[in-house]
Each structure stands twice: as structure tokens, then as C-alpha cells.
A and B are shown apart, each in its own frame.
Chain A
Amino acid sequence: MKEVVVHPERCVGCMQCMLACATAHSKTKSLLSAVLENPKPHSRVHVGAGIYGEGFPNRCRHCDPAPCLQGCLPGAIYRYERTQSVLIDPDRCINCLSCAMACPFGVIRYHQDALALPGKTIALKCDNCLERQTKGKIPACVESCMTGALTFEECNESLRKKTKEVARRMSVGAEERISSGIARGFSLLTGLKQAQTAVNEHLPRREARDE
């Protein structure tokens, strides 16, 4: 089963996924009209700033067992077996914040929503774009991600790719690393470091400078 995989090192914090997510969960499914909707659609993925200001697309991990599901007072949170998604029934949700207290990733928000009765605030979180998937589309956040920070693939396949990436980084020359196109940021840093070392090596030695 394919799932959304997050590659935090590739996120540049552009927040396109948030826009796409909110649009995908709007009534009209079009950005232009979605912004005019009432209630305004909200994103289920949240790009937060890390300690160096780097982006990170934080979304529901659909944990198993899920702490939010276990902590849900009205029994509104359930697991949809077919996609292994943890979902929230908007009619049963009582907006009690118990899931906010339970979620170790902090991915649940509380808003009015097109899915809920008018005026009712409910808990909102990623539903793996169930509606899109039934139409044969991939999740909106993945579709909109331009840097490959979000991918939709088999978990094992993703792991295999990651292993290969690491292996290749360790086993080829620096030139190839820079031009190979894999994890550019990382390779660039490695390249920079190597250049710096090279420059340092050409500096006069300490004793010589002291003279």
C-alpha cells in the first residue's frame, strides 16, 4: 500500500502543500473559489519552522495504535482499514481537545469545516486525501510538492531508495556527488567542506606564518 513519505531534508518551507491541502478539502476544490468559502478551508498539513528556520511538513502519521484514537472521548476517531488511515467522524466529534493532548506530533487543529454542521468546530487532521484517492488521484500535498520532500510510495520502496542514496554518497567521488542530483543540499555541503579543506591545505603552515 502506498503512503505519503516525508523527507524533511528536502523541504524548503514553501508551504505549497498547505495551499494544496486546504484546496483539496474545500467545497469547490479550486484555489480561487476556495478562499471565498465560508467556513474557510484549512490545511491538514502544517509547515512549521525548525530551530534553524528550516521547513518541515508535519502531518498525521496514522499511528497504530493511535494515541488520539485511544484518547477520543466520543469515539469519533476510528481506523479506516482499507487505507490504514486514522479518520475523524465530524458528526461524532465534540471538540473536546482530547486528541490535541494525545497527539505526540501536534498535527490536529480545531476549526469549522465544510464537512461539519454549520457553526460547529471540529478536530481536523490529514485523511490521506481519501476523496482524491477514490478518484485515482494521489494526495494533494504530494502532487504540489516541487522538491520531493513529500512522496507517495510503498514504504519498503522508499526505504530501499534511501539506503541506496546513502550508499552512493559514501562510495563515489566528490565531483560525481555534486553533479549526481541526489540530495543536492547534502552534496553541496560536502562539496563545500571538501573545498574548504583543500584551501586550508594550501595555506602556509602555522610555523611559517609565525615568522
Chain B
Amino acid sequence: MRHVVIGNGISGTSAIEAIRYIDPEARITLIAGEPFLPYSRPMISMVLEGAVRADRLPLRPEKFYESLQIETAIGEWVRKVDTENHLVETDKGNRFPYDRLLIASGADPRPLKVPGTDLPNVFFMRTQAHVQAMLEAISEGARDALVLGGGLVGLKATYGLLRRGLNVKLLIRSGYPLSMQVDEFAGKILLQELVDRGLEVQVGVEPAAFEGNGKLQEAVLTDGTRIQCDMAVIGKGVDPAVSFLPLDKIKIDNGILVDEHLETSLPGVFAAGDVAEHFDIARKARRVNAIWPVAVEQGRLAGMNMAGRKVSYPGSLSRNVIRIFGTDVLTAGMVDPPGNGEFESMRSYNEHAKTYRKLVFRDDKLVGLVMVNGVEQGGVLMSLIHNEIPVRTGTPRERLAAPSFNYSQLLFK
């Protein structure tokens, strides 16, 4: 059996480990564009911040591929997948035949469609190389940074640049940061924390153009204002990396559609991680949950299925946790449900302890969670959502929101 895996992010890495675990004989080829060992992508912002050195990013030992007997094509980008002849073609002209193919190509930063994004010092923050380039710009004297987008990437870039001592201005289209992850209340607590540390924020605006003579000097906003800046970071979300696929032959929505075995509409072709669209447990709908733990679990299960052990995937759950200065925010599932009477929300806020909890229920099940500070029990609540465990009268809902909530309260009914 010849397995080909595209991408050495955590999903592809988890997959090759699973294949090798089940089938010691299988031929496995890994094709990866980024010339690094599997590394921790979420940690690149900590390299920017200066909290860890780049040599802490690799997640597997140096002889990882050799020890698992993986054939590699590192530094080669896939250009084409010939699904009829079962061939993968790279930019170096190499062709790799496959019996089973895993597409774990991840996602690319969504480009901003305004003039001037090709100027030097206009960055994305997705790869190790991006962060290296940002650090070079800082060491060459960049002082005023403009960050676009209040999502996780924008927020982490903002945090990192603030800790590097730059003047940072953050532009958020919606009224508060992390609007896709948290509710307004939690978003505003987070925003206040950043503003208290010297961040300038402008909400409801977007850039119209970047200007500069040979390098970035100014950003022009939709309302006509001009902002002086010598570096900019674009954090406007990501798009699945599918450009090399025959789009007429494989079913794609927001990501590559996969079934419960992580198999795409083409038999023998699997997809996992940021590129795959499966089912969201809380939302009860198809969804790409482009987050680290989902990439790990999908990669692992895809690998097992590829190696012939049929394991089905129940679906993923959107979730995230972030620590910004002294504020922790943990979120999972549906945090801002539509007000159609289907959902019930419960909130508690302790001003003194600066803790906030919001729980969202659909019937007797927890489907959404926001926690600000005191997040240690977040995993317990998240597993209630993840496993769709009904919260009955034995564990009153108020208890779940109380600071004293702990696992033992779920034991006896």
C-alpha cells in the first residue's frame, strides 16, 4: 500500500504516525512545502513576542522521518493531483503515485484585496518564515505597527508586538476582538486589557490602501483617515489550501467535504485539519474548525482509516483558549446563538474576581461556553458539550456556572 501525505503540519504528522503505528510495512511518502520539521504553528506568535526561541518550535526529533521510515519530499509544493491516474505532481516536476492520499495542506492567510499589500513590511502571520520576516523588520527599526483584524491571529500579533515595545494600532471591523469566538461582554473585557497596556484600537473601519515609496509608510482607511505605520500585519482569516486540486472532481464547500471516515468524495483520498470540512457537534452543521486539537484528532483518525482500521469521527468542536497579559479567555461551541427561542443562555459575572462565565444550552444540553479567568474547569464543561451529555436536574445549571464547579458534581445524580 502506497500512502502519500500532503502537508507536514500537525494533521499530516499525526496521520503518518497513525499509519505507521498500524501498518509497519506501508510505504509512506510525505510531501511538504515548508522546509522545517513539524513545528508548533500556534507558537510562532510567542517567537514574535520573544517568549520562546525559534528552536523550541519543532515538535518531533530530528530523525523523526528516518525513524518512522517515511520517504520525504520536503521543500516541494504540490502543483497538481491527478485523481484518475492516482498521481501527485510537485513544482519540482516529481511525481508520486498513491493508493491512499491524505490532503492535509492546511490553510493560507486570506489576502486583503486593496492596493499596496505587495509593499515590503506588509505581513501575514501564518508560518515560521513570516515571523522571521517580522522580526527582521523590527530589528531594522520598525516602530509603528498596524494590525488588521481582531481575530486570534490579529490579537496574538498585537500582543506580540506590544510586548516587543512597538506602538500598535489595531483595526477591528466588528465592535470587539475575537467576535467569532466570544460574546461581546468577554470581547470587551479583552479589549480593555489591551487598551490598558497602551494599544490603540479603531473599530468599524477597514483599510482601503497601503501607500509608501519602496516601503510601507501609510495606510488609508475606508473613512479617509491616514495612519502612519512602518509595518502592517494582516489577520483576516484563512482559506483552505486547495488550489492544486481538480475542483471539478472533488467536492468542496468551505473546505474539502469529508465523511465520517475523513474520506473525501473521491474514494481513497482523505482530508484532515484546516483544509477539511466535517461536522460541528454544537452547531449541528457542516463546518471547518481550523484549530490545532481538531487537526490532531482528524489527522490521527484519517491515518487509521487509511491504514485500513475503520474508525469513525463523530465531529469536531470549535474551541479556543488565549492568555493576553493577565486575562484568560476560554471558549467553546456556540457562544452567540441566534435569538430564535431554541437556545437559552446563562451568564454570571464577578466584578471583584474579574471572572465571567456564559453557558449556552439547547434543550438539556450545553452547546456553548465562554469563560474569562478561572478557566481551569473549562475542559470539564467542554467535554459536556463535546460528548453531548444532558445536564439534568441532578446537576442544576447554576452549578455549572459557579466558581466552585468541579468534576465531582457530575458524578452523583
Binding site for B on A (CB under 8 A): 8, 46, 48-52, 54-56, 58, 65, 67, 70-71, 73-75, 92, 94-110
B395 within 8 A of A: yes
Residues of A within 8 A of B383 (CB): 104
Which residues 9-61 of B sit at the A interface, judged by CB distance below 8 A? 40, 42-43, 46, 51-52, 56, 59-60
Majority-rule SS of B interface residues = mixed
Please determine whether A94 and B46 come into contact, CB atoms closer than 8 angstroms: yes
Report the bound CA distance from A52 to B380 in whole Å: 19
In the assembled complex, the CB of A114 is this many whole angstroms from the nearest CB of chain B, namely: 20
Known: A52-B412, A74-B40. A100 touches B375 (CB 8 A): yes
Residues of B within 8 A of A107 (CB): 407
Please determine whether A100 and B378 come into contact, CB atoms closer than 8 angstroms: yes
25 residue pairs from A and B, CB less than 8 Å apart = A46-B406, A49-B406, A50-B408, A50-B409, A51-B399, A51-B409, A56-B408, A67-B293, A70-B293, A70-B296, A70-B300, A71-B296, A94-B43, A98-B292, A100-B321, A100-B376, A101-B320, A101-B332, A105-B379, A105-B380, A105-B407, A106-B378, A106-B406, A108-B379, A110-B376
CB-contact partner of B321 in A51, A94, A101, A105, under 8 A = A101
Report the bound CA distance from A65 to B18 in whole Å: 12
Given contacts A56-B411, A98-B321, A110-B376, 6 further A-B contacts (CB under 8 A): A50-B408, A50-B411, A54-B412, A97-B322, A97-B375, A104-B382
Binary A-proximity of B389-401 (CB < 8 A = 1, otherwise 0):
0000011000100
- Size of interface on B: residues with Cβ below 8 Å to A: 40
Known: A56-B408, A71-B292. A92 touches B56 (CB 8 A): yes
Known: A58-B406, A92-B56. A51 touches B380 (CB 8 A): no
Chain B residue nearest in CB terms to A55: B408
Residues of B within 8 A of A46 (CB): 406
How many A-B contacts at CB < 8 Å in the complex? 114
Please determine whether A97 and B330 come into contact, CB atoms closer than 8 angstroms: yes
Known: A73-B42, A100-B330. A106 touches B293 (CB 8 A): no
In the assembled complex, the CB of B134 is this many whole angstroms from the nearest CB of chain A, namely: 19
In the assembled complex, the CB of A93 is this many whole angstroms from the nearest CB of chain B, namely: 11
Please determine whether A106 and B412 come into contact, CB atoms closer than 8 angstroms: no
Residues of B within 8 A of A73 (CB): 40, 42-43, 292
In the assembled complex, the CB of B325 is this many whole angstroms from the nearest CB of chain A, namely: 13
Chain B residue nearest in CB terms to A46: B406
Report the bound CA distance from A73 to B292 in whole Å: 8
Known: A48-B406, A51-B399. A101 touches B412 (CB 8 A): no
B184 within 8 A of A: no
B243 within 8 A of A: no
CB-contact partner of B412 in A50, A65, A67, A75, under 8 A = A50
Residues of B within 8 A of A52 (CB): 412
Q: What 9 A-B pairs are tightest by C-beta distance, nearest first? A: A56-B408, A48-B406, A104-B383, A103-B379, A106-B380, A106-B377, A50-B408, A75-B59, A71-B293
Report the bound CA distance from A52 to B379 in whole Å: 22
CB-contact partner of A101 in B296, B330, B411, under 8 A = B330
Residues of B within 8 A of A103 (CB): 379-380
Please determine whether B321 and A8 come into contact, CB atoms closer than 8 angstroms: no
Please determine whether B292 and A94 come into contact, CB atoms closer than 8 angstroms: no
Report the bound CA distance from A109 to B320 in whole Å: 17
CB-contact partner of B379 in A70, A75, A104, A109, under 8 A = A104
B336 within 8 A of A: no
In the assembled complex, the CB of B312 is this many whole angstroms from the nearest CB of chain A, namely: 16
Which residues 50-91 of B sit at the A interface, judged by CB distance below 8 A? 51-52, 56, 59-60
Report the bound CA distance from A52 to B399 in whole Å: 12
Report the bound CA distance from A51 to B395 in whole Å: 7
Please determine whether A102 and B406 come into contact, CB atoms closer than 8 angstroms: no
Residues of A within 8 A of B322 (CB): 97
Report the bound CA distance from A39 to B279 in whole Å: 45
Chain B residue nearest in CB terms to A49: B404
In the assembled complex, the CB of B323 is this many whole angstroms from the nearest CB of chain A, namely: 6
In the assembled complex, the CB of A134 is this many whole angstroms from the nearest CB of chain B, namely: 25
Residues of A within 8 A of B407 (CB): 48, 56, 58, 104-107
B236 within 8 A of A: no
Please determine whether B321 and A97 come into contact, CB atoms closer than 8 angstroms: yes
Binary A-proximity of B275-316 (CB < 8 A = 1, otherwise 0):
000000000000000001100110010000000000000000
